[in-house]
Amino acid sequence: MTVPGQLQPAGPPSPPYPVRLEFQRQAEYNRLLPLVKWLLAIPHYIVLSLLGVAAFFAVIGAFFAVLFTGRYPRGLFDFLVGVYRWSIRVTAYVYLMTDRYPPFTLSAQPDEPVQLEVEYPEAGIDRWRPLVHWLLILPYAFVVSILSNLAALFAFFALFTILFTKKFQAGMFDIVVVALRWQTRAFAYAFWMVDKYPPLVWA
């Protein structure tokens, strides 16, 4: 499926952090796609539900690996990042941020309007982190829950702006970008993929 309109970088600049999530905003959107994107995304949700089961066991494996060795197995790390990358692409599609249908792949695609990268911790991870990261992330996750609700609300508003003007207004788009970035950083920290606490910045 081709993407109508020129793609433009979107959102405030990302802060220095091992997790980077970038989006591009289209100058114009297809008026009719917002009405059916939720339906077109169903095959992705089916696959992601199966991948979610595999990711659950991957997290368990990573928990014990880090606890006993201080290393995050690279295969498990890349798999979890890939599952989340797939999920966030689908979220961006359903939230009307892109008209490009998400690819059925875990890997990064250089031409995709949604780009997620998480730096692998080459130096290793402190063994105690799997025991406490779920607790340390709670204050951040509380803010993420608020931002996530805002993102869903603005995606709903975008349904009407796209229907009538073929545009997802930049200000609303940027709020959704920030919300999804916060959500992604929370994911990476909660699963001890990074040791630096997510930045408390609007970016």
Residues 129-164 have pLDDT tens digits of 999 999 999 999 999 999 999 999 999 999 999 999
Strand 7-10 with 114-118, pairing: unpaired
DSSP-assigned beta bridge partners for residue 7: 26
Distance CA 51, CA 77 (A): 14
Residues 182-200 have pLDDT tens digits of 999 999 999 999 999 999 9
